Structure 1
Amino acid sequence: MSQIRAAILTISDTASKDRSADKSGPTICAILQGRGLVIKYHDIVPDDDEEIRRVVSLWIESGNVDWIVTTGGTGFGVRDRTPEAISPLIERHAPGLVHLMLSASLQHTPLAALSRPIAGTIRSTLVVTLPGSVKAVRENLDALLGGGVLDHAVELIKGGSGQATHSTLASVSGRGNGGHHHFHDHGHHGHSHKEPQPRSILSTDPALLATTRHRISPYPLVSFGDALLSIMANVLPLNAERKPVTPDLKGHVLAEDVFAPQNVPLSQTTNVDGYALRSSDEPGTYRVVTPATHPVNSVVPEGSVYRINTGAPLPAGTDSVIMVEDTELVTTHADGLSDAEELEVKTLVSVPIGDNVRAPGSDVRAGDLVLSKGDLLRSSGGEIGTLVFVGRKEVEVYRKPVVAILSTGNELLDLHEPIPQQGEGQWGGIWDTNRPSLQAALEGLGYEVMDLGIVSDQLDAHVEAIRQGLDRADILLTTGGTSMGTSDLLKPVIERRFDGTIHFGRVKIKPGKPTTFATIPVGSGLRKPLFALPGNPASALVTFHVFVVPALRRMEGRQVVDCQFPRVKVKLCDAMKLDPRVEFHRVLIRADAEGLRAFSTGGQRSSRVASLSGANGLVILPEKTEQGRDLFEVGDEVDAMVIGELESR
């Protein structure tokens, strides 16, 4: 069966005013994406019957959605109106799905009995309403996605026989297991994509002797999909701010819906350069009046035409425009002079009423939604032009994050200030590559960067640098200090000095296994994210593109489905071996008559930053399995992440 197309609707008065309050919507997005579903839409509406029905009906009419999932508004609160809003739209109710969801939640809490979910079909789309809590959302989705229930339902709704699902169930049940059937998401190597749960402090106490340190990392090795899920579940959009509509808005995300305050155009205007006249005027010779000689709100006299330029309003008494090309000059006010003004012209054709005329509101009508909350104001200019077009001088946008960066290690030298760090065994022999390369990447993406420099392998230096970053930036980005050495202090400092939560400390990818993601409390219930990237330059840049960019995009208000770099299919021009980990192979992607082709940048060693010089893509090589292949050949088609501008030949 083809991929299931889903749409997610968060129903909440609070979240509709402050998108950062929506935690269940992003959780659903991340879980469904992890299961291979395609997210077509994700929106937020208040607890309003008409608004809920409007959005659901709009998605149904689009024909692009197989499954609509709502979250919120299913309880007994005064404003909980989701069942009442959606029930009238349901054509065939699905009480079995309701029972399944309630049963799943009741296993965890008796309060689930207070939920009022509904499920059913509207045309060929399945609609399911979930509660508003993240915990309940996970419980319900586990029930719906487990055992092939959702796949089977969607297949039947779309007119299938369901034979494919029955065959899968039969094959699984025939394997024995003492009658217990285990359903795995084969597209993700059997992992159930639940957010990795933060654990208690696992880091070694740096105050103790080196002999007491861990010899094997205590942090579980999480999958690539689980790592992304954890990031999307713990990173929220920043607060909104009001900014003037200028070109500086490029790269920002709208924090409000934008409606046209008036018709555009306000009155009848012309599409061409020519002469405004009455459609009843026959071809012939007419006297010329102009904006300089005739007020636009006065009726044009009989026997005259009004000279007009593209975009200008039609004067009173006229209803059409004849193009300059369909006229001839007859006389001027001062014959023989180069700057002589037209006196009379001859019209050569008749023009029908409304010819070459834009009607009032023909571009935009007053009250039309022209841009939506969550839309990106792209550097190509269309969205900013639209804001100007409808006369908006200011607009609410999400604040873009300020990023603090630092490198750790006594062995590092700043290229322009090569002062060796003082420390045991220091030798000052490596240029710090990571900060300059990451700063270039961040500023190229439009983010303000705060450079905290190189931090020595001392506990107090780490504490002071992180404190500065928390005080002055929205997100911290560090490199080095994440492995198992005695001087790798980041994890202990995060957990023991800042009461931070390490959501994952190792990821099953290549390069970038020691990548660490944490959040640190900063008061008022807020937490700031911190990414501790590996020290090897290629690893740092790859994990920046794979993990940090999605987090930054989420912080600036983008929808969860729009946070990652786009993925495309490419044909390999070099053979690539598979690894037991998901590998991101650096490539140059070129577009030609045969499509998109990927050329390896050479040796992929994690310390070889030159492998990213010229790279505009990352080929995503799947894990090597015992029964699977161990090599992709030249000409094979694979997935690639586009991280730079595509080249053509």
Structure 2
Amino acid sequence: MSIRVTVLTVSDTASSDSNSDKSGPVIKEILNQNPYRLVESTIVPDEVILIQKAIKGWVDSGEVDLVLTTGGTGFGVRDRTPEAISVLLEREASGIVHLLLSASLQKTPFAALSRPVAGTIKNTLVITLPGSVKAVKENLDALLADGVMDHAVELIRGGTGNQVHAKLLSSSDNSSDRAHTHHRNHHHHHHDHQVPQPRVLSQDPSLAVSARHRISPYPIISYEDALKRISDSIVPLPTVKRPVEPSLTGFVLAEDIFSPSDFPPAHTTSVDGYAVKSSNSAGTYKVLTSKTHSLSQEPPDGTIYRINTGGQLPVGTDAVIMVEDTRLVSTHSEDEGEENQVETLAQVNPGENVRDPGSDLRRGDLALQKGERITSAGGELGTLAFVGRKEVEVFNKPVVAILSTGNEIIDLKSFPSPDSCSSWDTNRPSLQAALEGMGYEVVDLGIVPDEIDAHVSAIRTGLEKADLILSTGGTSMGPSDLLKPVIERHFNGSVHFGRVAVKPGKPTTFATIPLASGKTKPLFALPGNPASALVTFHVFVIPALRKLGGWPERLAQLPRVQVELQTSMRLDPRTEFHRVFIRSDGSKLKAFSTGGQRSSRVASLSGANGLVILPQCQKGSSESIEKGEKVEAIVISEIQMI
């Protein structure tokens, strides 16, 4: 099988004028002389996000074995290729880096200024090459010599490398010794696919403030990629048996519910009236009741049987005449409140106003399906009661631990001095209200100061008492932003993303923390700005909570609708969630902006029931969406009429 290769040229100049790209064509020419198949080549400017986007697109396709980049590996101000790629690597290939540097240093000492990186992302090998044609040729000669690059790709694919080993063993004595050493090393590291260990990218809090990261080491990922990473990492909680009672609302069924028998079990009435023989003509009849007549006996001629909705018909009757179609003739003398004789004003057809046995459910019919939610509308709970279920198996509903971080915020319950310059903790009360309104139990971990020990203690408590930890603040680049360092360095957690291309909410962080049981627990660190925290809660946290609680994938995200904008909205380079009031005029849904959209302006969410999803602004396309255009919006609360 040929090796599938893509080539990425990184150059501001070449991205504007492809004819100035000299090294890319050289790579293609050399590859064409070897057993490689060029899948695709492209040029991007020296922009970290664009470099990462191109490489991730190729890697995620699963159709590429080798990615070669050229350019951006030096010490120039715009040279960012190593920074863009190194954070994506799951396994670094330091030996390949040494090989490239050694080959170039044999030609010129200036090769010491090159900063190559190499390693694997999933099952794809990525190698960075310099931008000059001369250096590219030297590096490729070293990689192709003795099939080094071929051997690496074969091992990444899961091969044994036996052909290479055999070739080495059949060469000269020195080569034989070298091959034996290589073979021994090969067995030492086995070349099998290991589960990638969590990579520590966060700053080391023990270092001086001046040594902290100036640029986040976490790559910015797309909104769609963030949702996928959350979904891929979340596993529904275990199931539990719970009694069928109103507290079951909000849970998700973990079993199919089948009808144990026919419902109704016998012929019953769908109205209030009198059970009759359909052959009886209109006239005056004596009234029988459950007190005066047994259902197992046929009513005598000249009588009818009074019956209420849902009641069983007595033997020998086959229809029910409605109360509205009768007239009272007389009452019992000893009990004037009780009917004695009633005149029927019409003759009814066989089966009229009668429900047949099994007409609602037959024995063995599926009454409710696994994955259905027990809603507050009452239909599901009523169905469970209807079929006689006293308890049912459901997915556990997640418990959420919430905390705020920062020395600058104070609890609303405290009483600061009048000259206090602190800020009220807005996020915990608003998030707790949202969570409890959705039926989730909340563990309040309070405000955590900017101290490592305090962060460790709070997270440990959250892991013990909750199924998901939700924090706000401490996700940016400040020296006191400790969430990511504590997650990675004290709990061996995996930060699945630390930045997302969304507005508001760029520093939103999602991580999982391993447990002794082998399972993991999710943690969301939302931005400290109140509007950012609430928006990202609805966009990212709710889908995770729903999946934890066993919601089907198709229902995990909040519902989306098409709305008509009532004001124009400017586009941003990031996907933006514009807070709106969604109102219905009876024929269509209209979206009204809540005003200023600053991430700190929590008032922009007061009364808001929707988030308009504004796409990323693309170069050369419109910079805004105009009034009257239709866009997609996430519904976060009940839609009202205009």
Q: Normalised by the size of structure 2, how large is the TM-score?
A: 0.68
Deviation at 1:325, TM superposition (A): 2.4
Identify the residue that residue 329 of structure 2 maps to in structure 1. Answer: 330
Deviation at 1:419, TM superposition (A): 6.3
- Whether 2:520 is the aligned partner of 1:527: answer yes
- Whether 2:345 is the aligned partner of 1:352: answer no
- Whether 2:395 is the aligned partner of 1:409: answer no
Deviation at 1:349, TM superposition (A): 2.3
Give me the CA root mean square deviation. Answer: 2.1
Deviation at 1:298, TM superposition (A): 1.9
Equivalent residues in 2 for 1:322-401 (5 A)?
322-334=321-333, 339-401=336-398
Identify the residue that residue 256 of structure 2 maps to in structure 1. Answer: 257
Q: Tell me, what secondary structure is at the counterpart of 1:599? A: strand
- Whether 2:515 is the aligned partner of 1:518: answer no
Identify the residue that residue 266 of structure 1 maps to in structure 2. Answer: 265
Q: Which amino acid aligns with 1:352?
A: N
Deviation at 1:486, TM superposition (A): 0.5
Deviation at 1:320, TM superposition (A): 1.4
* Deviation by residue 1:560-619 (Cα, 9 ceiling, x = unmatched): 110111111111112211000000011111111451111111111111111111111101
2 CA distance for matches of 1:346 and 1:647? 50
Identify the residue that residue 281 of structure 2 maps to in structure 1. Answer: 282
Deviation at 1:344, TM superposition (A): 2.1
* Deviation by residue 1:506-543 (Cα, 9 ceiling, x = unmatched): 00000100000000012211100000000111110100
Match of 1:575 among 568, 579, 592: 568
The worse-fitting range, judged by mean Cα deviation, of 350-359 and 229-238 is 350-359
1 CA distance for matches of 2:408 and 2:339? 80
* Deviation by residue 1:380-424 (Cα, 9 ceiling, x = unmatched): 11111111111111111111111000010010111112469xxxx
- Whether 2:211 is the aligned partner of 1:218: answer no
Relative to structure 1, the CA distance from residue 391 to residue 219 in structure 2 (aligned partners, 3 Å threshold; closer, same or farther) is same
2 CA distance for matches of 1:199 and 1:461? 23
2 CA distance for matches of 1:419 and 1:226? 43
Match of 1:563 among 556, 568, 571: 556
Identify the residue that residue 432 of structure 2 maps to in structure 1. Answer: 439
> Would you say the 8 A contact 1:405–1:453 is kept in 2?
yes
1 CA distance for matches of 2:580 and 2:64? 49
Equivalent residues in 2 for 1:201-212 (5 A)?
201-212=200-211
Deviation at 1:283, TM superposition (A): 2.5
Equivalent residues in 2 for 1:27-42 (5 A)?
none
Relative to structure 1, the CA distance from residue 361 to residue 609 in structure 2 (aligned partners, 3 Å threshold; closer, same or farther) is same
> Would you say the 8 A contact 2:499–2:509 is kept in 1?
yes
Q: Tell me, what secondary structure is at the counterpart of 1:523? A: coil
Deviation at 1:281, TM superposition (A): 2.1
Q: Which amino acid aligns with 1:396?
A: E
Gaps spanning 5+ residues in structure 1: where? Answer: 1-103, 109-138, 141-196, 421-425
Deviation at 1:427, TM superposition (A): 7.1
Identify the residue that residue 17 of structure 1 maps to in structure 2. Answer: none
Relative to structure 1, the CA distance from residue 280 to residue 593 in structure 2 (aligned partners, 3 Å threshold; closer, same or farther) is closer
Equivalent residues in 2 for 1:61-100 (5 A)?
none
> Would you say the 8 A contact 2:269–2:309 is kept in 1?
yes
Identify the residue that residue 603 of structure 2 maps to in structure 1. Answer: 610
* Deviation by residue 1:325-377 (Cα, 9 ceiling, x = unmatched): 22233332219x7x342222222322222111111110111110011000011
Deviation at 1:621, TM superposition (A): 0.4
Deviation at 1:468, TM superposition (A): 0.5
Gaps spanning 5+ residues in structure 2: where? Answer: 1-60, 66-121, 124-195
Q: Which amino acid aligns with 1:374?
A: G
* Deviation by residue 1:11-51 (Cα, 9 ceiling, x = unmatched): xxxxxxxxxxxxxxxxxxxxxxxxxxxxxxxxxxxxxxxxx
- Whether 2:533 is the aligned partner of 1:540: answer yes
2 CA distance for matches of 1:276 and 1:451? 60
* Deviation by residue 1:424-469 (Cα, 9 ceiling, x = unmatched): xx97511111101111111111111111011110110100010010
2 CA distance for matches of 1:280 and 1:624? 77
2 CA distance for matches of 1:456 and 1:380? 42
Q: Which amino acid aligns with 2:565?
A: L
> Would you say the 8 A contact 1:412–1:428 is kept in 2?
no
Q: Tell me, what secondary structure is at the counterpart of 2:357? A: coil
Q: Tell me, what secondary structure is at the counterpart of 2:320? A: strand
* Deviation by residue 1:253-282 (Cα, 9 ceiling, x = unmatched): 101100011111111101111111222223
Relative to structure 1, the CA distance from residue 105 to residue 208 in structure 2 (aligned partners, 3 Å threshold; closer, same or farther) is closer
Bigger radius of gyration among the two = 2
- Whether 2:619 is the aligned partner of 1:589: answer no
Identify the residue that residue 181 of structure 1 maps to in structure 2. Answer: none
> Would you say the 8 A contact 1:250–1:378 is kept in 2?
yes
Q: Normalised by the size of structure 1, how large is the TM-score?
A: 0.67
Identify the residue that residue 164 of structure 2 maps to in structure 1. Answer: none
* Deviation by residue 1:36-78 (Cα, 9 ceiling, x = unmatched): xxxxxxxxxxxxxxxxxxxxxxxxxxxxxxxxxxxxxxxxxxx
Identify the residue that residue 39 of structure 1 maps to in structure 2. Answer: none
1 CA distance for matches of 2:421 and 2:294? 79
Identify the residue that residue 298 of structure 1 maps to in structure 2. Answer: 297
Relative to structure 1, the CA distance from residue 340 to residue 413 in structure 2 (aligned partners, 3 Å threshold; closer, same or farther) is closer
Relative to structure 1, the CA distance from residue 277 to residue 593 in structure 2 (aligned partners, 3 Å threshold; closer, same or farther) is closer
> Would you say the 8 A contact 1:413–1:428 is kept in 2?
no
Q: Tell me, what secondary structure is at the counterpart of 2:389? A: coil
2 CA distance for matches of 1:492 and 1:271? 66
Aligned length: 453
Identify the residue that residue 465 of structure 1 maps to in structure 2. Answer: 458
4+ runs deviating over 4 angstroms:
104-108
Deviation at 1:299, TM superposition (A): 2.1
2 CA distance for matches of 1:332 and 1:204? 91
